[in-house]
Structure 1
Amino acid sequence: MSVETLRDEDTHTIEYDDELNALIHTWNTFSSGETFREGANELLSVFTERDVSKLIIDTTEVKAHDEEDKQWLQEVWLPNMIDVGLAASVNVHRESVIAEMDMQETVDPLEDEPFENFMTDDMDEAREWLAEQ
């Protein structure tokens, strides 16, 4: 497995995994509002540049998302990601019922979107699932 770091910011890290042919976006700390949107849009930009279709988003350092950020993800960011080729994504959340519920609230309204999504609290499981997509 070879992983290349593409961006390394205080709030997030973006890596390319050549074995999965996927990006891995790790939130290093809680972010919201403009800071959150800047990090997410940077991922959109890198995703477009790399011409990949798979993504792991690691939110193990995030307890919950703000409601405005969830709405923005659902209405703006995710449709843009799908438009540029997102076919499969995994959300890795912290091992907590609250974190899992927060992620579920974020992705439930998107179940009719044309991409596959999986949620887990285990990075190995995330990698295995994405490798099969």
Structure 2
Amino acid sequence: MSNHYIYNKSHIFWDEQIETVVIRWNSFATGDELRDPLDRMIELAVIKKAKKALFDNSHVLVLEEDMKWLSEEWLPRLLNAGIQYTATVNPKNSEANNNLHIETDKDKTKLLHHEFERIHNAIVWLSEIAA
């Protein structure tokens, strides 16, 4: 199985240096154009036994219907895949989402999430976490 996947609107790959599964969006995506790459990201995380994920959302905007799918369906699967640390790059960073701790009721799985304005800062933060 490949260590990277290229879609029209995103690129998913394994970054060996920071031991992180990464998705970089290059344009706006909704529906299956958003969901298929995110599902592939989970598959790669399982194959690599990843604990960390990086989302470069510099060029993506999530609609309400996709947000519901992300929180109700996709996030629990991401946690079940073993991801414990996530970094998101949003150029117009919302300070309210910095250092977000998520705990699911079902299995008490914890996720440490941090948002950044620049990709470099996200990479530095993830590289400081032992995989």
Indicate whether the TM-score tops 0.5.
yes
**1:126 corresponds to which residue?**
122
Identity among equivalent positions (%) equals 21
Q: Which residue of the other structure, out of 9, 28, 41, is the alignment partner of 1:43?
A: 41
Q: Residue 44 of structure 1 aligns to a residue in which SS?
A: helix
**1:65 corresponds to which residue?**
62
> 2:84 matched to 1:93?
no
The 4+ residue runs of structure 1 with deviation greater than 4 A are none
Q: Which residue of the other structure, out of 9, 23, 26, is the alignment partner of 1:25?
A: 23
Amino acid at match of 2:18: L
8 Å Cα contact 1:22-1:52 kept in structure 2: yes
Q: TM-score, normalised by structure 1?
A: 0.81
Q: 2 CA distance for matches of 1:35 and 1:15? A: 17
**2:102 corresponds to which residue?**
111
Give RMSD over aligned pairs: 2.2
Q: 1 CA distance for matches of 2:32 and 2:13? A: 22
After superposition, the C-alpha distances for 1:88-123 in whole angstroms (9 at most, x for unaligned) are 0100012x2xxx35x94xx96x73341110000111
Q: 2 CA distance for matches of 1:18 and 1:39? A: 19
- How many residues are aligned here? 121
Q: 2 CA distance for matches of 1:91 and 1:40? A: 14
**1:10 corresponds to which residue?**
8
Unaligned runs of 5+ in 2: 105-109
Per the TM alignment, residue 45 of structure 1 is displaced from its structure 2 partner at its CA by 1.2
